[in-house]
Amino acid sequence: MNCALTVLLASLLINSPLSDSMLEPSVLNEVHHALARSENKSMFGDLDKFKQQVKSLSAGSSLTDIALKLVSTQKSDGRWYDANTNDVTCAARFVLKHVSQTFPKIRYSVFSDHIHSISEQRGISLAEAAKYVRSLGIEGVEVWSQVRRRELKIYTDAGLKIACVVWFPKFDLDEYDALGAAKTIKLAKDNGAISILVVPAEEKCSLENKAFAETRKRVIERTERFAKEAAKEGVFVCVEDYDNSTSPTHNIANTEDFLRKAPSVGFVFDTGNFMPSGDDAREAMLKFAGRIRHIHLKDRDKVGKPMGKCVPFGYGVLPAAELVKTPAMLWGYDMWYTLEHFGAEDMVKSLTDTMKFLKALKK
């Protein structure tokens, strides 16, 4: 399934328009390619007539508007309405059915801190904790930029791949940290990590803080510069929805502004970090679908402020199954999902409960 069509369809789960740049090449061509690969073209009738029908929808409309007309709305239980269908909606439903026939392979990872927590809480070595994590079906680990070689070897010896490198530069300061940037890119590249999560400024740089507008501008420009440098080495640089209420990406509006001004930067979608601001995680997921390069699976026991307590993923108030399955099944996301349980009093139980929930999704 071509990514543009599946992103298009995903956007309609919550009727959220996407930018035209996400729908290139044209919707018409994407539908045409999908039909050409279909084993049952007859259900759509004459292909030329179908193409003409799609064209008729586009009169005076942007590609986004065409997309919004292509499929019917979705029921809350995930099934599509059958009433009043036409060739266009039949095509869309066929594509979704085809994509959903098999649940794609999903790769799960954890933060290195969680492995340390298991070691400390259970009184076992870091190597034993890493092997235990791997036994749960977790395949990767997300590490900090200052990780030591010895620790990396413990993870790889346990069969864990380096999923992502996390770096906290001070891009809000006067000088760009060129040395730190080069070291972080090298660490990611040398250890097979395809992405770097950069937290370029933890506070003060939100859109709401007008006094720091110039600082925000500098942070975005430097993140874009870093992303371009990393791209030359085959590594994605991403920002996440960081849940400090004054961070430059703490809600949908701030994240959208940041990504628009930094086109080379990808997005780490943290399922739980839009909750303190009251934003809908599903809306954010689909709005930024074309930029997502990594996903953090976090759940909380409440939305809004004060910030809810983190709980095992699938045991809180988020629509957890939808947040996992939609990226994989509708636009073919096949990168890492990192389990995030900072502060868990029993990390083994938290990870075990989460993996039990995630494995059940495949049944």
> Are the CB atoms for 29 and 122 separated by under 8 Å?
no
Amino acid letter, residue 344: A
pLDDT digits (tens), the chain, 363 positions: 344 444 444 444 333 333 333 333 334 444 444 444 444 444 344 445 544 544 444 444 433 333 444 433 333 333 333 334 434 444 444 444 444 444 557 899 999 999 999 999 999 999 999 999 999 999 999 999 999 999 999 999 999 999 999 999 999 887 899 999 999 999 999 999 989 999 988 778 888 888 889 999 999 999 999 999 999 998 999 999 988 888 999 999 999 999 999 999 999 999 998 988 889 898 888 888 878 899 999 998 877 777 678 899 999 989 898 899 888 766 667 789 999 999 899 999 999 999 999 999 876
Burial 348-360 (b: 16+ CB within 10 A, else e): bebbebbbebbee
Asked whether 293 and 327 are in contact (CB, 8 A), the reply is no
Residue of 178, 175, 155, 174 whose CA lies nearest to 165: 155
- Taking a C-beta distance cutoff of 8 angstroms, is the pair 183, 196 a contact? no
The H or E element that residue 87 is part of is: helix 87-99
Using an 8 Å Cβ cutoff, are 338 and 270 in contact? no
Instruction: Return the H-helix or E-strand segment holding 54.
Output: helix 47-57
Amino acid in the structure at residue 287: K
CA-atom Rg of the chain in angstroms: 22
pTM > 0.85: yes or no:
no
What span, in angstroms and rounded, lies between the C-alpha atoms of 351 and 339? Answer: 8
- Close Cβ partners of 121 (under 8 Å, ≥ 6 residues apart): 346, 347, 348
pLDDT for 361 equals: 84
Query: Largest Cα–Cα distance of the chain, in whole Å?
Result: 68
Is the bond preceding residue 327 a cis peptide, omega within 30 degrees? no
SS3 15: coil
Strands 292-297 and 161-167: unpaired
With beta carbons less than 8 A apart as the criterion, state whether 336 and 109 touch. Answer: yes
Position of tokens 């009184």? 123
**Could you tell me which of 320, 274, 330 has the C-alpha nearest to residue 297?**
320
Handedness of CA 152, 268, 247, 22 (dihedral sign): positive
In the chain, the amino acid numbered 297 is: L
How does 213-229 read in b/e, with b if 16+ C-beta sit within 10 Å? eebbebbbebbbbbbeb
Domains and CATH numbers, the chain: 3-99 (no CATH), 107-360 (3.20.20.150)
User: ∠ at Cα 40 (289, 31), nearest 5°?
Assistant: 35
pLDDT recorded at residue 322: 87
Q: For tokens 């430097």, what's the residue?
A: 222
Cβ atoms of 329 and 99 closer than 8 Å: yes
CA distance linking residue 350 with residue 363, whole number of Å: 21
Q: Report the C-alpha gap between 124 and 209 in whole angstroms.
A: 46
